[in-house]
Structure 1
Amino acid sequence: MSAGETRFYAVRTVVGRELDVALIIERRVMEHISKGEDLGITSIIIPPGIRGYVFIEAANPAGIYKVISEIKHLKGGNPILVSKEELERLVKPKLVVESVNVGDVVEIVRGPFKGMRAQVTSIDRNKNMLTVSILEAAHAIPITIPGEYVRPVRKGE
């Protein structure tokens, strides 16, 4: 590892306390910076959907040990080295249209049909759009909605 190159480290937290831990770490890093001490910590990351972990980008783990010592909501003391590729995979959102197929049942989570279940009738993966038929409706009327408006419920037969 060359001088100045950063790596990513994961620290385990109590589930639901990720933001609290990240804010405490940020405050401690700022305190060290105000004293003129550089810990080599360049970023603090809380990926959406990843519970129980905070990721820290740092030049060396020694700076991380200084700021995470005696934080109430941390589990385990040692930061875990994480590859950049693995972190990118966690941070990059997976499109819903990549995980659903025609015939699958989805729940609409946004928009005017929120809370209703629908069956996927067609998929436009390039535009991230789904055409669905509402299951609770008396007549099958196809509607086209963005992929982020749905949550997969079950696979079609």
Structure 2
Amino acid sequence: MHMTEETETHIFAVKTTAKQERAVVDGIYHAITVDPSFKVTAVLSPDELKGYVLVETLEPVARIEELIESVPSARTVVPGETSLAEVSHYLVPKPAVAGIDEGTIVELIAGPFKGEKAVVKRIDTSKEEITVELYESMVPIPITVRGDNVRVIDRGET
């Protein structure tokens, strides 16, 4: 009995234990290297999608359910499938300065001023850099840092 090759990809969401998304991705990767008969083309764990990983596959849902049985912290395959159009926004990296505005209070998480709090004075979206002034400095000295070198503490909304 010869089975025909499935050529259409499906994207399934796999529910995971909270904060175990990366472990599930690693578990799926391990499972498909141990048993290469599972036709998985991609596994995605976007930071914004808590409690789920996305699996792109040529397999029907039953095979993915079988695959995740051996993966710790993988709970269940969500019924139905999603489309590339629905998940494509997860594939585009967000700029490091997204969500940071002038007046936002940040903590520097890298560089010589690591651990210092600062106020955002200017944002350069094209270079993904922000100019900040240290919060506790006697003399306001502007410092330009990469957007991914800060952690937002207070957005300054009242």
The two structures share one fold, judged by TM-score above 0.5: yes
Aligned sequence identity (%):
32
**Do 2:12 and 2:77's aligned partners in 1 also have CA atoms closer than 8 Å?**
no
> CA deviation digits over 1:19-78, x for unaligned, max 9?
333333333333433xxx4x3321222334544222211123232122123544233454
Secondary structure of 2:131's partner? Answer: strand
Residue 9 (structure 2) pairs with residue 43 (structure 1): no
Question: What is the 5 A alignment of 1:71-86?
Answer: 71-78=71-78, 81-86=81-86
Inter-CA distance 141–110: structure 2 relative to 1 (3 Å threshold)? same
Secondary structure of 1:122's partner? Answer: strand
Inter-CA distance 98–20: structure 2 relative to 1 (3 Å threshold)? closer
Task: Mark the runs of 5 or more structure 1 residues left unpaired by the alignment.
Answer: none
Quote how far apart the aligned CAs of 1:6 are.
1.1
Counterpart in the other structure of 2:32 = 29
Quote how far apart the aligned CAs of 1:119 are.
0.9
- Please give the alpha-carbon distance, in whole angstroms, between the structure 1 residues aligned to 2:144 and 2:155: 19
- Please give the alpha-carbon distance, in whole angstroms, between the structure 2 residues aligned to 1:136 and 1:117: 7
> CA deviation digits over 1:76-113, x for unaligned, max 9?
45455233244332343322423122222112111111
**Do 1:7 and 1:57's aligned partners in 2 also have CA atoms closer than 8 Å?**
yes
Corresponding residue pairs, total: 151
Q: Greater shift after overlay, 23-32 or 118-127?
A: 23-32
> What's the TM-score, normalizing by structure 1?
0.79
> What's the TM-score, normalizing by structure 2?
0.78
Q: CA RMSD in A?
A: 2.4
Inter-CA distance 5–82: structure 2 relative to 1 (3 Å threshold)? same
Residue 143 (structure 2) pairs with residue 143 (structure 1): yes
Inter-CA distance 17–101: structure 2 relative to 1 (3 Å threshold)? closer
- Please give the alpha-carbon distance, in whole angstroms, between the structure 1 residues aligned to 2:23 and 2:100: 35
Quote how far apart the aligned CAs of 1:142 are.
0.7
Quote how far apart the aligned CAs of 1:139 are.
1.0
**Do 2:133 and 2:143's aligned partners in 1 also have CA atoms closer than 8 Å?**
yes
**Do 1:41 and 1:63's aligned partners in 2 also have CA atoms closer than 8 Å?**
no
Task: Mark the runs of 5 or more structure 2 residues left unpaired by the alignment.
Answer: 1-5
Counterpart in the other structure of 1:52 = 51
Question: What is the 5 A alignment of 1:1-157?
Answer: 4-33=7-36, 37=37, 39-48=38-47, 50-59=49-58, 60-69=60-69, 71-78=71-78, 81-156=81-156
